Amino acid sequence: MDPSPRNSALRILLAAALLYASANAIFVGPSILDVCPGYSASNVRIKGDGLTADLVLKGAPCDVFGNDIEKLSLSVVYETVDRVHVKITDASAARYEVPESVLPRPDSEHAVSPQAAAIRFNYTASPFSFSIHRASTQEVLFTTHGHPLIFEPQYLRVKTKLPDNANIYGLGEHTNAFRLPPDITLALWASDVYGVPTNTNLYSSHPVYFEHRPTGTHGVLLLNSNGMDVKLTGSDAGGPALEYNVIGGVLDFYFLAGSETDPTAVARQYAAITGFPAEVPYWTFGLHQCRFGYQNFVDVANVITNYSVAGIPLETMWTDIDYMDRLRAFTLDPDYFPLARVREIVDYLHAHNQKYVLTSDPAIPYLPNQNYLPYDNGNSLDVFMKSPNGSEYLSLVWPGVTVFPDWFHPKSAEFWKNEFARFHDLQTGIDVDGAWIDVNEPATFCILPCDDPFQQAKDQNIPPARPAPPPDRNTPIFVTSTLSRRDLYLNPPYAISNGYGDISSKTAHTNIKHANGLMEYDTHNLYGTMMSVITRDALLARRPGKRPFVITRSTFVGAGAQVGKWLGDNMSLWEHYRFSIAGMLRYASVFQVPMIGSDICGFAGDTTENLCARWAMLGAFYPFMRNHNADTTIPQEFYRWETVAEAARNAIGIRYRLMDYLYTAFHQAHVDGTPVLHPVWFKYPKDANTYAIEYQFFFGDAVLVSPVTVDDATAVLIYLPCDAFYDFVTLAPIAGHGSHVVLDNVNFTTIPLHIKGGTVLPLRTASAMTTTELRTNDFEFVVAPDAGGKAAGRLYVDDGESITPTASTQVAMSFESGTLDVSGKFGYATGVNVSRIRFLAVGTAPKQVYLNSMVLKSTQFSYDTRNKVLDVTVREPFVHGFSVQYEEYISPHQLTAYTNT
């Protein structure tokens, strides 16, 4: 480090900081960083849609973790009315940025002048600081005032003030409360962390947060894939703050105005950057069953049969790495999973309108000259990652010593597609319906410094031996360490708070150079998403025009536009049952990855009957519903306990009846980014009591889910905002008063659900054993008016599988003054009727009911006096609009009079 001229007082402080040195880096506190000189802005050039400026180091440099860069470039562009792009880069040298090939940048064709923008950029020239404020109110949303910018080769620091008790949501993947604690450090570094402990970086990196205030909601994305710490300090000496500490790249901020009244607006604005979520096939909303530990084809077949016998709908059967020959990618074990028997399973599933998914890992066994095609093919294309000396980078994963595809290599997609096409050939291979990609951070088992992965494979007994002999292949089925300091890419001077310590621990070494010259140090957090996109393309090549279905573990900004995700290796703990809600909301409501769910009943450790029953019901309201557990735990398929089986049947029955409602929400997310799940504060942004609600959420925009969350309890304390609600089962009206309500006697086969007033809810009349069968059932509409006596809803139907459907039915339902109007475009032939309309909060039995202005017979409607429900049988073919009216409609005054708690 160059010692030329330095501020002497600062040098003394830095020397004192050495007392906190770790093996790899130095801890430097805010008292030192906040007295660094920062920069001065000069040569400011105003443009019609923003400005540019030079930033020049203001005084003697800090050189805290490297030499301060003398001159920077600032660019500010008002890309839309709601989005300001602020970018700070090195003026004299190119630095790494997230490649456009991984995340295409949004265009600026709708750029506006600052005067037209909803949020605006202000700056102070010397020392340079900047702020973002809301134009309509002048409220400051982000400000670096008092905290100098630090910009070094491997350390960037930006710090903004926060209001007291700030409501911050998002930032990385971790096991923490949905509203982040006021004092926490979040490391963003993709890592395979077994058991998903709290306060630890997990599999993905999403450097975006939403902040909600009573005055509005806004968002901030730092588009940077380097490792970073984001620190929230509620007790900071200068007041609450949020601080970025980044080990490379550039400062590439997108500030989103959000809205003063509608929190979902910021989600839509974020989706315009990331890409709108991918539409998934209709069948993917069914129940998925998996286990690490189905040891052979008989196990798999028996699970399928047992679900059928138990009357529990099973849509998709999954198989973990157990199917592989010695855990080698793109192989079948000839004894435990012979090809003919696996194909028999797939044929059986498809004949019963069910699906099959296998896992695929990125690690390819290093087996030169052993006739192992995946390695030989990849080696011939030269697509594997390289060590600094140019040799193939070797590490250790399930099959033993492995190599990893370099997704930046121009032929890596060709390699991966060819392996998928060969192994999953429709005629000769395993005809899967989707893909599950795992350990793609990438994870490794090699202990640093990993100089001899071959010896470590022996020491760790990898691959492990089979625990039992194989079955007779004719068995009938379907009857009842410390890293040495080699370079700064391995040991950056600032050490982020990575749960495994060194940033190369348990993953690919960060000094690897990719085929395009980029360093793994910079691109590590992109690996899983890049694999996901290439896997999606491989599936699309097998079935052109059909929506691919991919579930991944590691994601980055924009992943949701291509794939879905599950939340990793959780534990069979009540705590993890509770935390799954926050994880799901973080992805579905903030990160724009809506196809999200946790391993139901827990992956690791033995579940219990009560926990699994509760989790089966909560899991029915995850967008992605999968039961999955580990090989060292007890079996936990839903049919193992009668209570769990009944809970699953009940909750899945509701989920399946709601499936078109969920499918419609996903279509809307694909169109404009509107979230498919909503934290309670999304719906009640002025109610401060909702900001910290962790365990209630809206499934879609109208079904309030309030699971029991206390261990083994049969009561739950829920919050009902000031609004009209309806019990989902009885349909009775319930008035919310902005207070907590205790629900007693909630048995282990029931989950509390309420319909939000103002909704017309489309339902199937009955559940089914498969989604194919479900689509043959009629619809019914439940009309749940708000306190003003109005309600609205929508329904989208298409073929459920085409990327570009040739036809669709898009219907709007509106209710007012006792009349329901159904109208829209009826292009897709559903082949079913709308059989019934259920009007809620009807004060008295109507004297007359009309269908399309025609009087109905009294036998065609009935009235439930106790629950205030009017049922009208219509049996209208779902090929045109119609209206239903009852003679005496409920006024807002009457609604208030008869609602009760």
- List the domain boundaries for the chain: 37-274
Rounded Cα distance, 473 and 344, in Å: 12
Q: How many CB atoms lie within 10 A of CB 117?
A: 21
Q: Rounded to an integer, what distance in angstroms lies between the CA atom of residue 881 and that of residue 303?
A: 44
Nearest-angstrom CA–CA distance, 793 and 764: 15
Q: 160, 277, 196, 188: which is closest to 564 by C-alpha?
A: 277
Distance CA 290, CA 438 (A): 13
Strands 241-246 and 208-213: unpaired
Annotation says 441 is catalytic? yes
Count of all residues that appear for the chain in the document: 901
N-to-C CA span, the chain:
69
Instruction: Kindly name the residue from 173, 502, 569, 701 that is annotated as catalytic.
Output: 569
Helices 574-585 and 609-619 sit at what angle, rounded to 10 degrees? Answer: 10
In percent, how much of the chain has pLDDT > 70? 95
Per-residue pLDDT reduced to its tens digit, 412-426: 999 999 999 999 999
Q: What is the mean pLDDT of residues 261-272?
A: 98
Q: How confident is the model at residue 760 (pLDDT cuts 50, 70, 90)?
A: very high
Q: Is the pLDDT of residue 769 over 90?
A: yes
Q: Nearest CA to 173 among 130, 206, 144?
A: 206
Strand partners, 170: 209
Share above pLDDT 90 across residues of the chain, in percent, rounded to a whole number: 92
Q: Are 288 and 251 within 8 A, CB to CB?
A: no
Q: For 200-229, how does the pLDDT look when each residue is reduced to its tens digit (9 = 90+)?
A: 999 999 999 999 999 999 999 999 999 999
**Strand ranges, E, within 65-215:** 71-80, 83-90, 119-124, 129-134, 140-143, 150-152, 155-161, 167-170, 183-188, 208-213
Residue type, 601: C
Helices and strands in the chain, H and E counts: 17, 47
Side chain identity at residue 178, one-letter code: F
406 catalytic per annotation: no
475 — pLDDT class (breaks 50, 70, 90): very high
The set of residues, in sequence order, having a beta carbon less than 8 Å from that of 759 and lying 6+ positions away, is 701, 702, 782, 784, 791, 792, 793
Q: How far is CA 652 from the centre of its chain?
A: 22
d(CA 771, CA 769): 7
Pairing of strands 723-727, 733-736: antiparallel
Pairing of strands 753-756, 183-188: unpaired
Cα(146)–Cα(600) distance, rounded to whole angstroms?
A: 47
| Chain centroid to CA 349 | 28
pTM of the model: 0.93
Q: Count other Cβ atoms within 10 Å, centred on residue 848.
A: 12
Grouping H, G, I as helix, E, B as strand and the rest as coil, residue 66 is coil
With a cut of 50, say whether residue 16 has pLDDT above it. Answer: no
| Paired residues of 143 in beta bridges | 131
Mean of the pLDDT values across residues 396-412? 98
How far apart (Å, rounded) are the C-alpha atoms in residues 568 and 750? 26
pLDDT band at 901 (very low <50, low <70, confident <90, very high): very low
Instruction: Name the helix (H) or strand (E) containing 356.
Output: strand 355-360
Of 441, 599, 646, 701, catalytic: 441
Edge-to-edge strand order for the sheet containing 723-727?
677-679, 697-699, 703-705, 753-756, 723-727, 733-736
Confirm if 809 and 795 have CB atoms less than 8 A apart: yes
Q: Point out the catalytic residue in the list 173, 431, 438, 701.
A: 438
The tens digit of pLDDT for each residue in 781-822 reads 999 999 999 999 999 999 999 999 999 999 999 999 999 999
Query: What's the one-letter identity of residue 315?
Result: E
CB-CB contact of 245 with 251 (8 Å): no
Catalytic residue status for 744:
no
Three-state DSSP at 596 gives: strand
Sign (positive or negative) of CA dihedral 393, 399, 405, 407: negative
Please provide the CATH number assigned to the domain covering 37-274.
2.60.40.1760
Checking if the pLDDT of 11 tops 50, the result is no
DSSP-based three-state secondary structure for 419: helix
How far is Cα 840 from Cα 733, in angstroms, rounded to an integer? 7
